[in-house]
Structure 1
């Protein structure tokens, strides 16, 4: 394969891992490390106390944490990450009320090609302001984002804030609903997924994942509604939105729109209450091998599940 083509099709996110509390310590509870076997092995022998390392810091602060450089930071696996070509990471804690269920960590590699965005927006003075974000090569879009704020209901972050539900937004470069459409179009960003972040301090935060066509975060996104009042059962979920860059319906007889607890990866999230990150997972839609599933809590119950596939 031509090197330029190979680089252009590498994913924006290289590694996704799950850290689960056991007592006062976070231990590895699965993940997708691609072909980075040495980094996976070291991670499997690593643990974090509250406040320690990136996962521990997200636990202690009760909100997502963005780390754009490892050298000289609190990141514990700096040498192993450097050998693997990893340069930045985002930790997303999953809280059910005040109880930490897990921390989802995504790790990225920085170069002149890979473009995308993982952003954390928090409420300040009645607006959502950018707390921090990782953008890869999309430097101008990063600058625009740093100088943008959202009232409730406006744009992708403001829409999530108003509805307190996940939202998928398409055609970012041309859609009038996406406030930063001009700079998104120049950066090649096409798809946005916004997530309400449950924080134990009750403050409002929104996480946005913005995917570019050339170096996508994923090739398929889904939102599942798990609210019993909406789907008629506490042990099932219904897909309410999705987008993929391949032809074919999002659901069919082979890929049902409704799932039950423990049925496939989405059902595993529903049944366990924990995120999943699986490589070569069975039971996925045709043409996909990897999946990340993330529960979105309201109080102590799962309200939604978001998933992305490659």
Structure 2
């Protein structure tokens, strides 16, 4: 096991949970809570109607929702969240056409040390503008982002918009393709993941996860493409299209074998491919060696899973 993975590093995201529709309410399907047992228990006993709480708001408004403070808000687990030290959350709905498949909710803690960014960009008058975001201690980068917009094809959000595919960017502080490189470098941000969030009605949303070495969103990212793998094949499968990890050496075992492919129901990625539902796995043998938690998020296009974005902590 790589020594770097053994170091006790605070991650930018503390909690990840999946809420799925059951009748007219959202119920908890699975989640990773670490040592936050009281908040986990409060979540297991919760459910949300359309428009109710953070998951219900993302469902009703059919868009990603950022909530940077819980006090006085519509967040319904405020007391448990405060006891757990959680201060902000982002809800990402997963739609297949007009049908809600699930809502991914991630929660963060603000201790003036953790640096990173979870951003939601929305198209407005032909450019992407920041709809909202959570940045932890990266205050200057937040200000720069609020005053930045992206034409189609420019920067990480614009590239995702133009291609309608998830994208990874490395070396944000020095990368010429990253428009905010100077402020990203000063904030210590190193890796960027951008992904389209399809919603009913045709509005354009791009979610960006920006990770720092000291408080990473994840230590490993993977992008799986389920479109190319379906060409000429009857069965569902997905090919690993891109990835990056913090440790030295090969990104995955058998890296020289092309293509790296999973079939439906093969491992966690295969389960996401088969069901079209996001997944959160924690502390199981299904995970890649050396990682504790996996979050896998499908992107549906034209009624099918087109991409799967996975991050490991």
Offset at 1:287? 1.1
| Cα pair distance change 1:198/1:263, threshold 3 Å | same
Q: What is the distance in 2 between the residues matched to 1:297 and 1:228?
A: 14
Corresponding residue for residue 295 of structure 2? 292
Offset at 1:151? 0.2
Q: What is the distance in 2 between the residues matched to 1:238 and 1:7?
A: 31
Gaps of 5+ in 1: 1-5
Offset at 1:231? 5.5
| Cα pair distance change 1:229/1:247, threshold 3 Å | closer
Q: What is the distance in 2 between the residues matched to 1:14 and 1:232?
A: 41
Corresponding residue for residue 124 of structure 1? 124
State the SS of the aligned residue for 2:111. coil
User: Aligned-pair RMSD on alpha carbons?
Assistant: 1.7
CA contact (8 A) 2:229 2:237 kept: no
TM-score normalized by the length of structure 2: 0.94
Q: State the Cα deviation string for residues 116-159 of structure 1 (Å, max 9, x = none).
A: 00000000010000000000000000000000000000000000
Gaps of 5+ in 2: 1-5
Corresponding residue for residue 306 of structure 2? 303
State the SS of the aligned residue for 2:79. helix
> Is 1:238 paired with 2:239?
yes
Offset at 1:249? 1.5
> Is 1:138 paired with 2:138?
yes
Q: State the Cα deviation string for residues 281-308 of structure 1 (Å, max 9, x = none).
A: 2232221121000001112111000000
Offset at 1:267? 0.7
Q: What is the distance in 2 between the residues matched to 1:108 and 1:231?
A: 40
Q: What is the distance in 2 between the residues matched to 1:133 and 1:7?
A: 28
Corresponding residue for residue 249 of structure 1? 250
Aligned length: 305
State the SS of the aligned residue for 2:283. coil
Give the 5 Å matches for 1:253-268: 253=254, 257-268=260-271
Offset at 1:173? 0.3
State the SS of the aligned residue for 2:102. strand
